[in-house]
Structure 1
Amino acid sequence: MNFPLILFVLLVITGSICLLDYLFWKKKRAAGESEPWWVEYPKSFFPIILIVFSLRSFVIEPFKIPSGSMIPTLLVGDFILVNKYTYGIRLPVLNKKIMDMNEPKRGDVLVFRYPEDPSIDYIKRVIGLPGDVITYHNKQLIINGEVIKMEYEGDYKYVESGFGYIYSDRFSEYLNEDSHSILINQEVKGLQYSNVREFEFRDNCKYRRTGFTCEVPAGRYFTLGDNRDSSSDSRYWGFVPEENIVGKAFIIWWNFGDFGRIGLSIK
């Protein structure tokens, strides 16, 4: 369901009724005559729809985390807020940028429209910027020839799809001065080659049994999930086009199963 499009259609309908009533219909009603319901209701809902549409389009938008690909940073059931303007102002519905602001940085938690099906929103961490060379070898991340520092934090377990516990190792990964946590399951290969698809700029990547190397094209970004061995990400379906970017995730505003997560910033 394309909720922004639905909101836009409702905004146009209610706004048009308000305008037509102001210009024509109101003048034809007798003094003291009540507004018909099909005018009263749209006029009541128009300012609410306008506020919601403006906030979702230009300021913040709520999302719910549906999968465990970003564990331990984000858990299934987290409700998050996404900053819509930090990377620039975009036209609603069309998602066309009309004003540049900031560019995504390595380590940002990015919400974007899935390249293979833009009707689906994905959330992953930005690993590679345009021009970067990304290597993932034996579960070690290397960017532009620099081995990314990792520090072991301890064991981590979580329930996957209600079938039982998954046991992984938790590490701190340093893409910038700040660190974030990732999970690595030592019992799973770092690359499931059978899941690699054909995608745009596929020739920019070289795959091996132990990993891959990809050069990020201009106007594209390379993303990975923090739950490295349980994530469908850029190593399988390719690069994220700049025009697919929705915004930067910055806070968890609700979780029905764990109130302690409410208000946590997303790093």
Structure 2
Amino acid sequence: MAEILRALSKDKNIAIFIMNSTDIVEYARKIHSLPPIPAAALGRLLTATSMMGIMLKGENHSVSVQISCSGVLKGMVAVSDSKGNVKGYVKNKDVLTETDERGKLNVRGAIGEGTLTVIKDLGLKEPYIGQIELVSGEIAEDITHYFALSEQIPSAVALGVLIDRDESIKSAGGFIIQVLPDTDEKVILELEQKLKNFSNISSVLENKSIEDIVKELFGKIEYEVLARYQPVYKCNCSKEKVESIIPLLKDEEISNDTIEVVCSFCQKKYYFTKEEALKIKYGE
């Protein structure tokens, strides 16, 4: 079962959000039939978005993280509620498996250049929208850059997805560490040293619980666990919601007696008669 732990140092200067997202990423891989690189890329984005979701304060608040890119993936979307329940998809999953110079899946190459957009629905008239240029395509570095640039929060982000030999998800997860500007420089340096041990977070999660990792990261710093979450991959689509796609269809796409619309997030299929589709599109 996927799990998120939220912890805060006793002086309230350091916040850590850490997640084991293996079950969620494996579920996403299965429903979308993803090969390794799209699975790794979407898994990282789902993990980050889920942790960003629990940072929201309102029960009905949500956050969407979108990547538009020049690489073969073409883009990705992930959406989370304030309990960390998350859903997402890649725009192109037909990506060949290749490794980079480090021998790792070439997610960076599959993403290429582009933008990262964060949209927060906080129940106000207009959503909050923050957008940055991608700095690397590694997603963790891009999320770090987003926090620094758009929210002025110094952060360290680690995200990882480990693919097994049968292409299933062996482990997946990550953490977001946020530090207040007035934190003692010695404490920050010690934290930076510890972070080097967690550069491959998906491998670490194979052998250690998220509680163990939090304990190691804080070290001698006193902290408390504020909350635990057990998020799931969750899509709240319905026939009424997917109706919005009908007006975008060309007339020739509404020529059959039955029109099939597939939810991008969960692959559930919805069917409309030709008469229903024309009425939605033209109000006839």
Same fold (TM over 0.5): no
**Structure with greater helix percent:** 2
**Structure with greater strand percent:** 1
Using structure 2 for the length normalisation, give the TM-score: 0.24
Q: Whose Rg is larger?
A: 1
